[in-house]
Chain A
Amino acid sequence: MNAVHRVQCDILIIGSGAAGGVLAATLSELTDRRIILVERGGHFGSNSFDQRELDMLRLYAERGARGTIDGAIPVQGGQCVGGGTTINYALSFDPIEAVWAGWRKEHGLKGISFDRDAADYGVDGLNILNCAAEVRRRINVRRVAEEHVNDNNRAFEAGCQRLGLSTNRFELNMRDCIGCGYCGQGCAYDRKQGTMITYIADAVARGVRLIHHCDIETLEFSSSSGDVTAAGATGDVRPTEPGSHPNSIGPGPITISAKLVIVSSGTIESPSLMQRSGYPDPYDTVGRGLVLHPSLPIAGLFSRELRNYRGITGSVYSDQFYKTRGFYYECLFDHPVNAAIAIPRIGKDHFETMLRYRNLAGFGVMLVDSVDASNRVTWNPETKKSDITYRLSEGDKNRLRFAARTGVRIMFGAGAEEVFLTSEESIGPLAYPRFTSADQAAFCDELAFKPGATLLTSAHCQATAKMGEDPAASVVDSRCEAHNAKNLIVCDSSSFPTSCGANPMVSIMSLARYQGRRIAAERGRYGL
């Protein structure tokens, strides 16, 4: 029979991804408080990463099955120690000052200064620039070296140059990458510097207790004199899966008491946890305004073989249209299972394309989508899962059409003989979007982005527990403190009021570092 665990700590952090890992390390660095870091997934080390796509789905939320309820968009995320930083492509963008300035202006946020001399909340050196710099150092963010750019990325770069579009080299959080091409399956060589081997390792070395395989069912609250105060959480520790490091506790129900509860479970799970815990939400703000960064893959067939699935997967991008149209082109490539699923058609048509797998090139459009309150996350008590409701706005569809049209031209400019989209929609005279000349790119204007017909993907969900100073329009304030409960902080990608404007890992980590330093300095505020 499983034991019932009752555990006490000062600070409980729920979620060990980009935010939770940094918070655990920062708070253990700057305080001597007892900290517990909880993770739903397992603690799989690099020696268990076998580089096989289906096996490594165990590192993903819902084992890769999470998606919008209409099936239009798979919503990928990490569910393992390290979260998304374990399975992402290491693409590192600094926080974008204009976006954060917009949050100050539009959402009334205080602090989050971009002045290196600023001391937000009276804490020496506390500002976003310094926090981002500290994050960059710890996870070793560096620009891709010239010799590591593979053929796929070079083709994309050449296509952009042919059209007169600007390109940049990505910065990546890697150390001596060997170029195996399996970032998405977890780095088997510990070269990607995710939180599992950086911040969480630091935190555990300082005495933070890591509990993995732990499903947190509800947050616990106490009430007195009309005030609601977070007091901990209850859940269940599952048996440790084969291949995982041992757990710090046995299987069974668990109750964790804490003075301060920090929810860092990500954009989908953080609002869900609040909803199923009965968190007071008089303005129905929790979970609303989801953004996904929908991505549309664009593939090209070349007459020559390319080094595509080996080497650093993403090393070149273009932000030519970021300021004017709100999207990026980012170079990426898939291994056969994901490639076969994404490539349209069945039978011989599909096989002919797969036979030329070595001749394929790929990149994607990453759309910075607009906020719509009807796009949201809702806890579904029947299925015991989060329902993700999302529809592209007409404005966003129009921007995607432009991006697709231009992307097709880029691919032809790179030298592709044929270009196709991951779609079964008929457009113009084409049975599906497979183009034999750049002139046909204009047919992209007819794309309807029908669910189940055109494959869009998402790996950057954000903004479902928004920061803001108006409780009627946000979930947490500038300190990431919940508006309607004391001693409850929500700090992760859900805290962003809108899209952070780029691949979010470093922005999330910078916010976590910032709030971690602030919490440590203001610990009396939480009775710590």
Chain B
Amino acid sequence: MDRKQFVVASGVSAFAALAWLRGIARGSALAATPDAAESAQQVALGVVQAILPFEDHRFPAMSPEDVRKRMYSIFSLDDDAAFESSLALFDTIVLWANPPLPVIALEVLRYGQPDVARDQRLFEKTFTDRKVAQARFVDLGVDDKRLYLAMWSQSSFGVRRRVYQSFKALVHATAYSMDALWNAIGYDGPLVSKGITS
């Protein structure tokens, strides 16, 4: 089945977020590099690492790459240029402090005037002690990846909050439709697959 539309909204989020990201991508070189797909996979891998606690001994034995591959397969994300663009933009940390004008324009249209200065203060508060000098999300350690992602959830931009919810929904939907996670949380799954059909 084609689950691409689920990607676009992923339960809680993303129509406006991806529309925004697509709009920005049109005016940017971020998604036009020859290795865009490979770069996007690295960002997606980082998002998976940030959202799921692979380091927890109670978490099922699987790698972030296993989950990323499954996510790409379930949601048909290979060669999805818009998704790659959104990941590239998420990856470019400098855009947090300097949102392009079209972003602000769309934010005003959808949600009202954003508080850009508040987002800048949020960044400083989140990362001052950690002295984050990296320019890309993929280069952050896993703890900082989580902080960066969580910062999007607290943004004054509605579209940024939606990006967070979108990534969260994609990864959680992927993971919590797996038998291994069901076993971990004590969920025994569909009855029809146990032969209970009437």
Query: Is the CB of A142 closer than 8 A to any CB of chain B?
Result: no
Please determine whether A336 and B182 come into contact, CB atoms closer than 8 angstroms.
Answer: yes
Which one of B3, B172, B189 lies within 8 Å of A340 (CB-CB)? B172
Asked if residues A74 and B11 are in contact (CB atoms below 8 Å), the reply is yes
Listed residue (A57, A65, A309, A453) with the most chain B CB atoms within 10 angstroms of its CB = A65
Within 8 A of B (CB), among A184-243: 188-189
* CB of A1 closer than 8 Å to a CB of B: no
Q: Which residues of B contact A336 (CB under 8 A)?
A: 176-177, 181-182, 185, 187
Stretch at the interface among B37-45, B48-56, B77-85, B126-134: B48-56
Whether A126 sits at the interface, judged by CB under 8 Å, is no
A347 touches B14 (CB 8 A): no
**Could you tell me the distance between the alpha carbons of A67 and B18 in the complex, rounded to whole angstroms?**
14
Task: Give chain B nearest CB distance to A51 CB in angstroms.
Answer: 3
Contact between B162 and A424, CB atoms less than 8 A apart:
no
- Is A62 in contact with B5, judged by CB distance below 8 angstroms? yes
Contacts of B181 in A (CB 8 A): 336, 354
In the assembled complex, A133 has its CB within 8 A of some CB on chain B:
no
- The 8 A CB mask of B141-168 against A (1 = contact, 0 = none) is 0000010011001100011111011001
- Per a CB cutoff under 8 Å, which of B164, B177, B197 touches A52? B177
Q: Does A175 contact B (CB under 8 A)?
A: no
The answer to whether A453 touches B5 (Cβ under 8 A) is no
B173: CB under 8 A from chain A? yes
Cα A354 to Cα B175 with chains together (Å) = 12
Q: Within the complex, what minimum Cβ distance (angstroms) separates A281 from chain B?
A: 24
Which residues of the other chain, B, contact A452 by a CB distance below 8 angstroms? 12-13, 17, 158-162, 164-165
Q: For the complex, is B9 an interface residue (Cβ under 8 Å from A)?
A: yes
Residue picked from B13, B150, B159, B197, most chain A C-beta under 10 Å: B13
- Tell me the number of A-to-B contacts counted with CB atoms below 8 Å: 162
CA distance A451 to B58 in the complex (A): 33
In the complex, are the beta carbons of B177 and A337 less than 8 A apart?
Answer: yes
Q: Is A3 an interface residue, CB under 8 A from the partner?
A: no
Considering only CB atoms and an 8 Å cut-off, how many residues of chain B contact the other chain? 58
**Which residue of B5, B50, B175, B198 contacts A189 across the interface (Cβ within 8 Å)?**
B198
**A83 CB to closest chain B CB, in angstroms?**
18
State whether A339 touches B111 (Cβ < 8 A).
no
B162 touches A357 (CB 8 A): no
Does B190 reach chain A (CB closer than 8 Å)? Answer: yes
List B contacts of A67 (CB < 8 A): 9, 15
Q: Select which of B17, B52, B177, B184 is within 8 A of A71 by beta carbon.
A: B17
B187 and A54 form a contact (CB under 8 A): no
Chain A residues 345 to 375 lying within 8 A of chain B, measured CB to CB, are: 345-348, 350-351, 354-355, 357-358
A51 / chain B contacts, CB cutoff of 8 Å: 189-193
- Chain A residue numbers with a CB within 8 Å of B158 are 70-71, 450-452
B56: contacting residue among A50, A66, A342, A351, CB under 8 A = A351
Contacts of A345 in B (CB 8 A): 150
Write the nearest CB–CB distance from A341 to chain B, whole angstroms: 5
Q: Which of B11, B15, B16, B154 contacts A424 (CB 8 A)?
A: B154
- Closest beta carbon of chain B to A426's beta carbon, Å: 7
The yes or no answer to A58 lying at the interface (CB within 8 A) is yes
Report yes or no: A180 in contact with B59, Cβ–Cβ below 8 A: no
| Contact indicator B168/A341 (Cβ below 8 Å) | yes
Q: A50-B190, A346-B150 are in contact. Are A357 and B185 (CB under 8 A)?
A: yes
In the complex, chain B residues whose CB is within 8 Å of the CB of A63: 1-3, 5-6
What is the CB-to-nearest-CB distance from B177 to chain A, in angstroms, rounded to a whole number? 5
Contact B110 A180 (CB under 8 A): no
A455 on the interface (CB 8 Å rule)? yes
Q: A452-B159, A452-B162, A453-B161 are in contact. List 12 more A-B contacts (CB 8 A).
A: A50-B190, A51-B190, A52-B190, A63-B3, A63-B5, A69-B16, A340-B176, A341-B173, A346-B168, A351-B56, A351-B59, A357-B185
Closest 9 A/B residue pairs (Cβ):
A452-B161, A51-B190, A65-B9, A340-B172, A340-B176, A452-B162, A336-B176, A357-B185, A65-B5
